[in-house]
Amino acid sequence: MRQLETRHILLFRVLRDHCSFLTRRQIQRVLTLTTSGTTKSLHWLMSEHYLERRYRVDSFQHFQTPVYYLGELGWRVAGQPASLYKRHRLQVEQRPERQIEHMLATYDVFLKFILEADVRRLIGSEDRLWKEAIDFGNVPDGWVQFDGGEAFIEVDRGTERPIVLRKKFEKYASFSGSGGYQRLFPQCGFKVLVITTTETRIEVLERLVTSDDIWLCSMKDFLIHPLDHEHWFALRGFYALPVVPKKEVQELQEALS
């Protein structure tokens, strides 16, 4: 009889804590398996109801592709109350199509940090903390505290008008300058990581930035290079995140042994 492995537990934790759903490609990154190995693993996880799936419309390929989320058994293995599972499933299944593409892009960024850095805290856009921060005015895609410091995460898919982004950047600067950020995150560094589509888009965003605390990078460069690679554009030059590589799976194995 097949048993759960450490890689599966890691996947369940990611789906429980940070990502409501993931694509096959993203799950392959977490499981660190080949394409065929990932397919076999997904088939087994679904057959045992550790995972379930819903379909989304792929605007580029013009057909429906699946995203995977915790099934009833996976939900329980992840330590969640059985009484809350139905609500969780409905939230995933009823998620509007227009939101999914942006969420998946944000999850790409989350996974990069989770798998390659020592993440101490990761707050998503739907956390009620942002509603309580009434002096902020922005709802970021995320905020991460890791071994290289702290940073807001903004994923730009090239769909927002420059004037909207300018106001968003101004609100970040105001939140930092007013002391609101330090009240919300005491003794934490302030930085905004903007992951966007292309270098051409970066040139557009650079004209909107007035603070060296806002760093810009293309999604392609962010995903293919190590986190500590010097590929961040900022007002005064290029920067790299000071990250110490993390071995998440090995640590999890030690904790479970």
- Residue percentage of the chain with pLDDT more than 90: 82
Domain ranges of the chain: 6-95, 104-239
pLDDT at 70: 98
pTM of the predicted model, to two decimals?
0.91
pLDDT in tens, 82-96: 999 999 999 999 999
Pick the CATH number of 104-239 from 3.30.460, 3.30.70, 3.40.1350, 3.30.450: 3.40.1350
State the Cα–Cα distance between residues 78 and 158, nearest whole angstrom. Answer: 36
> In the structure, what pLDDT confidence band is assigned to residue 57 with cuts at 50, 70 and 90?
confident
For domain 6-95, the CATH class is mainly alpha
**64 in the Ramachandran plot: left (φ > 0), alpha (ψ -120 to 50) or beta?**
beta
**Position with higher pLDDT, 79 vs 97:** 79
29 CB-side CA count, 13 A? 17
**Mean pLDDT score, 142-155:** 96
Running DSSP on this structure, what letter comes out for residue 181?
Answer: H
pLDDT of residue 235: 87
What are the beta bridge partners of residue 214?
Answer: 192
Grade residue 253 by pLDDT with cuts at 50, 70 and 90: very low
Among candidates 50, 8, 60, which has minimal Cα distance to 32? Answer: 8
Dihedrals φ, ψ of 178, to 5°?
-80, -10
- Label residue 245 by pLDDT band (50, 70, 90): low
pLDDT at 249 over 50: no
Q: What is the mean pLDDT of residues 174-181?
A: 94
- Least confidently predicted of 55-64, 124-133, 168-177, 201-210: 55-64
Average pLDDT over residues 216-233: 94
In this prediction, residue 202 has a pLDDT band, given cuts at 50, 70 and 90, of very high
The model's confidence at residue 257, banded by pLDDT at 50, 70 and 90, is: very low
| pLDDT digits 0-9 by tens, 97-108 | 889 999 999 999
Alpha carbon distances (Å) from 199 to 66, 104, 195, 216, 232: 30, 21, 11, 9, 11
Q: What DSSP string runs through 204-220?
A: HHHTT---TTEEEEEHH
